[in-house]
């Protein structure tokens, strides 16, 4: 009977996910928030499912979901948009991360009275946007391609910054010192090393695709290779997430490279014969990611903790602060040619997700003092950042809150009407 009920529940969840995706086009409430609410209902509130129901394989399954979501989103990015968004993306990622990290760190240290290293560790952990949340949300928002690309790349870069700085603070807790030079070196090597490796492997896979397409039942071949890209990059000490982004971007733009190679190096093209993903493979990938996304965000909802009211209140205030400092980050870094509407959407697209959730577990695993506080505060910030992002997106599309953000972001260009229809 329990097995029958579980299978029925899976079917109902898939139908609900389709309904939530359809509902978003009318009320602008992101489907990821509604999926998380279901997770909260069956997890923390009713206690039907606990976060450890997947056992030791839970972290692996969640990471597989993140890699697939990230790869599918990167496949949609265009090289032309990357060129236009590159400088602004780096400026936005750096300014948004450091304003969040130092702001949250000082608040916890000077106002709440937490130890300084623990305070800035939490700031570093919650300083990054979530690629797994940003991508599904912006895919349904009517903003221009450059703005969409900026948000995707920003989330990938801030994930790296968050990981490097958080691990540096954790190390400083263990050895009692903090080395800024080594942190900067780690960031640069992690970013560029991962991007180069991911790009090279994408070109290699495009050459191999010609052979793979001749194999029966090869639809899972590309996702399998993506996992190899991620795992290999991580094993070499670089960022697997950045490598997956680079891999997806290059593979998604292979038709552009193919036409260029045909024109200039015809003999080389005849030897290598690089190929893009077929339409059927790309459709299969999107359907797979849709199913993965359902259970990924359900799992995040199940993993949240609502037992301590003080932690809940603190998480809400810190999440609110993150959205406030997001505005000057947008003003400082985003091109003035961006429409006010796009800038407003970018200002409220600041959900925290998987990277903070995983980083928050490390202090407990290492047995560090204050580890439980780090996890509880981080998870509370994650929930309220997603809630605030979803609520503000809904309000910008449907209420006069859009006018308020337009006043705050008045230095940007006039709205394009087609973007807000």
For 48-104, the pLDDT digits (tens) are 887 776 666 666 777 787 788 778 877 876 776 566 666 678 889 889 999 999 999
Where are the extended beta strands (E) located within 8-138? Answer: none
Q: Is residue 157 predicted with pLDDT exceeding 60? A: yes
- What are the pLDDT digits (tens) for 240-253? 877 888 898 888 88
pLDDT at 315: 93
Long-range contacts of 265-272 (CB under 8 A, 24+ apart): 272/207
In a domain? residue 3: no
State the chain's mean pLDDT as an integer.
81
For 273: left if phi > 0, alpha if psi spans -120 to 50, otherwise beta; the answer is left
Domain coverage including residue 72: 12-419
Which CATH number is 346's domain given? Answer: 1.20.1530.20
Q: What SS3 state is found at 413?
A: strand
Number of folded domains that form the chain: 1
pLDDT at 180: 62
Measured CA to CA, the distance from residue 267 to residue 270 in angstroms comes to 5
In a domain? residue 6: no
In a domain? residue 308: yes
SS (H, E, C) 342-361: HHHHHHHCCCCCHHHHHHCC
Q: What's the predicted TM-score (pTM) here? A: 0.74
Measured CA to CA, the distance from residue 275 to residue 265 in angstroms comes to 15
Structure-token match 């490796």, residue found: 197
In a domain? residue 183: yes
In a domain? residue 5: no
Sign of CA dihedral 378, 330, 142, 288: negative
List, in order, residues 6 or more apart from 415 with CB less than 8 Å away.
Answer: 339, 340, 341, 406
pLDDT-derived band at 109 (thresholds 50, 70, 90) equals very high
In a domain? residue 22: yes
């Amino acid at each position: 009977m329990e097995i029958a009920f579980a299978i029925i529940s899976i079917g109902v969840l898939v139908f609900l996910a389709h309904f939530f995706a359809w509902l978003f086009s009318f009320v602008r409430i992101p489907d990821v928030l509604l999926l998380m609410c279901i997770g909260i209902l069956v997890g923390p509130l009713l206690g039907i499912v606990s976060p450890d129901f997947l056992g030791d394989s839970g972290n692996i399954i969640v990471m597989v979901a993140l890699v697939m979501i990230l790869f599918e989103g990167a496949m949609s990015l265009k090289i032309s948009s990357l060129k236009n968004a590159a400088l602004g993306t780096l400026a936005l990622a750096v300014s948004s991360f450091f304003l969040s990290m130092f702001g949250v760190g000082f608040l916890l240290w000077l106002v709440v009275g937490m130890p300084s290293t623990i305070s800035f560790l939490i700031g570093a952990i919650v300083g990054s946007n979530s690629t797994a949340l940003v991508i599904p949300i912006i895919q349904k928002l009517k903003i221009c391609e450059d703005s969409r690309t900026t948000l995707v790349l920003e989330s990938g870069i801030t994930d790296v910054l968050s990981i490097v700085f958080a691990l540096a603070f954790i190390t400083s807790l263990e050895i009692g010192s903090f080395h800024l030079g080594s942190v900067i070196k780690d960031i640069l090597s992690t970013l560029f090393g991962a991007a180069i490796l991911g790009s090279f492997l994408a070109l290699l896979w495009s050459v191999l695709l010609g052979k793979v397409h001749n194999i029966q039942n090869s639809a899972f071949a590309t996702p399998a290779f993506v996992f190899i890209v991620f795992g290999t990059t991580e094993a070499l000490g670089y960022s697997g997430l950045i490598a997956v982004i680079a891999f997806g971007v290059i593979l998604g733009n292979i038709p552009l490279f193919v036409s260029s190679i045909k024109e200039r190096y015809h003999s080389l093209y005849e030897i290598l014969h690089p190929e893009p993903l077929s339409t059927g493979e790309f459709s299969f990938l999107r359907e797979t990611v849709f199913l993965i996304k359902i259970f990924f965000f359900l799992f995040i909802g199940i993993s949240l903790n609502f037992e301590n009211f003080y932690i809940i209140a603190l998480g809400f205030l810190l999440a609110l602060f993150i959205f406030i400092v997001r505005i000057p980050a947008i003003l400082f870094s985003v091109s003035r040619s961006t429409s006010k509407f796009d800038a407003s959407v970018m200002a409220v697209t600041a959900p925290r997700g998987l990277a903070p959730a995983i980083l928050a577990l490390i202090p407990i695993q290492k047995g560090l003092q204050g580890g439980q506080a780090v996890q509880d505060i981080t998870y509370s910030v994650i929930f309220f950042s997603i809630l605030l992002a979803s609520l503000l997106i809904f309000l910008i599309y449907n209420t006069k809150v859009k006018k308020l953000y337009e006043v705050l972001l008045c230095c940007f260009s006039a709205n394009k009407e087609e973007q807000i229809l």
